[in-house]
Structure 1
Amino acid sequence: MISEDRQKLFAHLLVDGLWGDELIDFDEDAEDVVLREIRRVMGQWVNEQGDIEESVRQKIQNLKRDVPEGSSEYKILYKQYYAEEMARRGHK
């Protein structure tokens, strides 16, 4: 989970970088709106990643055999199930 302070920092860095490189353009009055939207989207992404990770862990735990967390088999299954879950949710 990313703290709210960290999300604010990332949002400011993103806006500063995009605006500084002239990849986006907006009135300075709109900066707060842009920052809020970036934080909102970032929050959604963080929540979705948490849901995906929980789903993947549950899938591994529900296997008939015990797969110790951190083992090479766990890592392989985690990567496979993570990719499947991302694809299921429409992400590449």
Structure 2
Amino acid sequence: MRITADKLNKLAHTVADSLAGIPECDFLEDRNTIRQEARKILTKLLADEMKLDAGARLKIASQRKIIVEGSQEWDILYRKYYNDEVKKLGI
């Protein structure tokens, strides 16, 4: 899933603000550093998800038969191959 830089920044701000609102959560760094680290983590997670998606799509495209995206068969295969890719990572 593609997320714009603005939306990613907004999400990182929300994470930092949410953590700051938890009384049991004390920051060792300033809030901006926390926000930047949250942004890095979110960016990596989205990149990993894109790799999983690409792997599943590649497997579907490599089928002998042409499978139309959006069809029931495509959806079933996508879920199966996506889950296979996740299992490869040990998640």
Query: Which whole-Å CA distance do the structure 1 matches of 2:24 and 2:87 have between them?
Result: 29
> Contact (CA 8 Å) 2:15, 2:35: kept in 1 or not?
no
Per the TM alignment, residue 24 of structure 1 is displaced from its structure 2 partner at its CA by 2.4
Aligned to 1:9: 10
The two structures have a TM-score, normalised by structure 2, of 0.89
1:23 deviates by: 4.8
Question: 1:79 maps to which residue?
Answer: 79
Residue number in structure 2 paired with 1:26? 27
Q: Match for 2:27: what amino acid? A: F
Q: Which AA in structure 2 matches 1:6? A: K
1:47-90 alpha-carbon deviations (Å, 9 max, x no partner):
11111111110100001111111100100000011111111112
Q: 1:41 to 1:30 in 2, by over 3 A?
A: same
Q: How many residues align?
A: 90
Output the CA distance in 1 between the equivalents of 2:6 and 2:90: 29
- TM-score when normalising by structure 1: 0.89
Runs of 4+ in structure 1 deviating by more than 6 angstroms, as ranges, are none
- Quote the sequence identity (%): 28
Structure 2: segments with no counterpart, 5+ residues:
none
Residue 54 of structure 1 pairs with residue 51 of structure 2: no
The secondary structure found in structure 1 opposite 2:30 is helix
